[in-house]
Amino acid sequence: MRTLIKGAAAAGLAIASGLATASPLLWQDNSLTYLYGQDFEVDPAIQQAVTFEHVSGWSVGDLFVFVDSIHYNGAKDAAGNNSTWYGEIAPRLSFGKISGKELGFGPITDVLLAGTYERGRGDIKNYLLGPGFDLAVPGFDYLQLNTYYRHSDSPEGVRGSWQITPVWGITLPVGRSDILIDGYIDWIVDNDGDGKQANFHFNPQVKYDLGKALGWQPKKLYAGIEYSYWKNKYGIKDSSAFDTDQSVTNLLVKAHF
């Protein structure tokens, strides 16, 4: 079953990549974010990170890519590293765009095949594949709900599990500018029983449009915070001996280009 899921995920990613390459790019946005935070769990407590993000819309779907470069301010993690990296490639194929038909019903505006490849330093390799939905909900700039079956390539042989990932964005006018609240939840719902725990990661950003406030181009320069609540971080069960429930507020500056 794991081989089948891994093969299906790889095939889905390859198809999405090939179609995106052959199809016109409708829009894109790129950004760099600097973050600083304290009180991280499992990893060293103080961290600085630089994140590159790319998001784009294609005639067959959309694509999201990010890479984190994380630094521990001179401390080292359990593997002896003073820094690490992590990234994801997440294409989605739109059945509405491919078929040329309206697939919306109720709040759902499109149905998609969502895939993700997760890669990090060391042996972190995960493949995710499942249905995705675009939703139209009053007050939201965008709202997605992606559900995945996830397969891990880790040497521990972790069994497959299910993940639910909503993604959202909300813009609130404030005085001369706007506050953007966006983020995601990764909820791995059924890891119990194989040495990994079900875990829940809530990761919103609250950002003030500094560029608009200063009379520059809007939606290009933001300052604010990112909050990370992670219960049973990395699937490690929280206990009195080892605290893995993380609650961290990062300061951030984000520039779009």
Mean pLDDT of 131-144: 98
Nearest to 106 by CA among 130, 133, 72: 133
pLDDT, tens digit (0-9, with 9 covering 90-100), for 208-247: 999 999 999 999 999 999 999 999 999 899 999 999 999 9
More confident site: 50 or 197? 50
User: In angstroms, rounded to a whole number, what is the distance separating the alpha carbons of residues 208 and 218?
Assistant: 11
pLDDT for residue 123: 82
**What share of the chain has pLDDT > 90, as a percent?**
80
> Quick one: pLDDT band at residue 2, thresholds 50, 70, 90?
very low
Measured in whole angstroms, how far is the alpha carbon of residue 39 from the centre of its chain? 21
Q: What percent of the chain has pLDDT over 70?
A: 87
Match 């992606």 to its residue by tokens: 146
Q: Give the pLDDT confidence score for residue 192 in this predicted structure.
A: 57
Specify whether the CB–CB gap between 203 and 228 falls below 8 A.
yes
Q: Which residues pair with 90 in a beta bridge?
A: 64
Task: Select the more confidently predicted residue: 123 or 162.
Answer: 162
Q: Residue 249 has what pLDDT?
A: 98
Mean pLDDT over the full length of the chain:
90
**CATH 2.40.230.20 fits domain 2-256:** yes
pTM recorded for the entire structure? 0.87
Q: What is the pLDDT of residues 179-211, one digit of tens each?
A: 999 999 999 997 655 667 899 999 999 999 999
Residues 6+ away with beta carbon under 8 Å from 69: 49, 50, 51, 83, 85
Query: Residue 223's pLDDT is what?
Result: 98
How far is it, in rounded angstroms, from Cα 61 to Cα 102?
A: 14
Confidence (pLDDT) at 8: 47
In the prediction, which pLDDT does 180 show?
98
Evaluate if residue 132 carries a pLDDT over 60: yes
The whole-number pLDDT of residue 17 equals 52
Cα dist from 229 to 22, 89, 185, whole Å: 39, 23, 10
Q: CA-CA distance, 206 to 165, in Å (whole number)?
A: 19
pLDDT digits (tens, 9 = 90+) for 56-69: 999 999 999 999 99
pLDDT band for position 79 (cuts 50, 70, 90): confident
Rounded CA-CA distance 40/43 in Å is: 6
| DSSP secondary structure letter of residue 41 | S
